[in-house]
Amino acid sequence: MSNAGQLLASGGDGGEILLWKRSLIADEKPCWRILKTFQLHVRDVLDLAWSPDSALLMSGSVDNQCMIWDVATGKVVQILNDHQHFVQGVAWDPAGEYLASISSDRTCRIYARQSAPKKSKKRKITAVESLFTCRQVLAKTEVATPTITTTTDGNVKAFKAQHLFHDENMPSFFRRLAWSPDASLLIVPSGLYKMAHDAPSFNMTYIYSRKDLSRPCIHLPAPSKPVVAVRFCPAIFALVKNVAEKDMSSGFSLPYRLVFAVATVDSLIVYDTQRNCPIVVFAGIHYAAITDIAWSADGRYVAVSSQDGYCSLLAFSKDELGTRLSCNEAPANVSSCLPETVLANAQQSLTATSAEMSLVSEPGGLVDHDQSPPDAACPRPLRYRRITLAALPASLPPNVLEQPILPISISVPSPSPLKTRKITPVALAEDSR
């Protein structure tokens, strides 16, 4: 969904991107109509990200490429083809300066906006001028305890680095990373952490500070399964008073609270930037793997999608997550990041470019979202268990910024699938009949 709330982009397994516009007709139910079709990817589109002004759209695909589209004209502005494997997640910095993409090639790439080149008499600046260039590649990190081994030919080899992320064997098609609403943090899923080369691996979520995108400043452990998606709540909250001192060492020193959700393959964990333990953990929501998360603008609802064909809607009561800051109460440097301000700015930009768009009439382009689907003959999803964690384990690392928190042990029940048994026929002798 665009920041203006009037355009919706969807990617298909044929490489096409459909741009939808909400249509309100008198005496009729609201519906969505196809506005444009973008076609250049040759394989599945796995993720999309809007620019802050909703004028550009970024897409990531199985064809190993990221593309930046001009929404008004439907043309590609730039192609980023640095990844060597599927691009499974893209994110656009709310400040408009950076792009981030993550791939199953075990790298996360940070692209920075180039300064506008000066025009020369010999060369004309074309419309497809490169807008972003790769600034940082996040791939490996040094282990806390290097391992020294001797190879078969007698040479001594020291293992000092390890991969930050899972490889292509991770059991998910998606790795959805996210920027914070104030653009100060980037959270990257599908992390993999080892204390030493021969030590066991832990699933991690990495948090990067905008001031230093070269290494993670905080490691968040996942219960047992890989992390597939991260999403920030668009609202900004006031700090909670009377919080226990043992819960305050989160590593952040923000004058406000940001809330974000981390989805593993089979659970959803909600954190904030004030405390060092989760606010709540949802487990057993779906039969199959979780694929994505989305917050409502007021921060009271979280939608979770799954490969089982269902979407779950998780609701928080009013002020359960905290007191929302209004534009007047928020600091001046973040008031422009609040949902109401972002919506107003995006709507102004959309009004300026809407005249360039034309409605495309296509078969089946009319979609009525208020029509109830027919009853499906399939089992209902499991009811979720809500577990509130009051504190972390007793043994915490001395420095949260440098060492990962020990993984929290969370037991997640899963339904037992039906097992097929192989029966081998045995021939009977004549005298045994």
Q: Which two tokens stand for residue 94?
A: 């709310």
pTM for this model (two decimals): 0.76
Give the residue from 235, 228, 260, 424 showing the smallest Cα distance to 326: 235
* pLDDT for the residue 409: 38
Sheet with 132-138: strands ordered across: 87-92, 98-103, 108-113, 132-138
Location of structure tokens 């109401």: 340
Provide the pLDDT for residue 177. Answer: 98
Closest CA to 147 of 166, 162, 130, 126: 162
Find the length of the chain. 433
Rg, C-alpha atoms of the chain: 24
Helices (H) and strands (E) in the chain, counts: 1, 25
Short-list 76, 79, 69, 111, CA closest to 93:
111
In this predicted structure, what is the pLDDT of residue 299?
Answer: 93
Q: Where are the domains of the chain?
A: 88-118+137-358+384-393
pLDDT tens digits in sequence order for the chain, 433 residues long: 898 788 999 999 999 999 999 887 766 677 889 999 999 999 999 999 999 999 999 999 999 999 999 999 999 999 999 999 999 999 999 999 999 999 999 999 999 998 655 555 555 444 445 589 999 999 998 766 555 555 556 565 555 688 999 999 999 999 999 999 999 999 999 999 988 777 888 999 999 999 999 999 999 999 889 999 999 999 999 998 877 665 666 678 888 999 999 999 999 999 999 988 999 999 999 999 999 999 998 999 999 999 999 999 999 999 999 999 887 777 766 766 766 676 666 566 555 555 555 444 343 333 344 444 444 444 444 444 444 433 333 333 433 334 443 333 334 344 445 555 555 555 555 554 4
Query: What pLDDT does 416 receive?
Result: 47
Rounded CA separation 314/282 (Å): 9
Q: What is the pLDDT of residue 5?
A: 81
Residue whose C-alpha is closest to residue 381's, from 283, 270, 296, 302? 283
Which stretches of 199-338 are DSSP H helices?
A: none
The pLDDT assigned to 374 comes to: 40
Reply yes or no on domain 88-118+137-358+384-393 having CATH 3.30.160.
Answer: no
Please report where in the chains the tokens 């692209």 appear, as a residue. 111
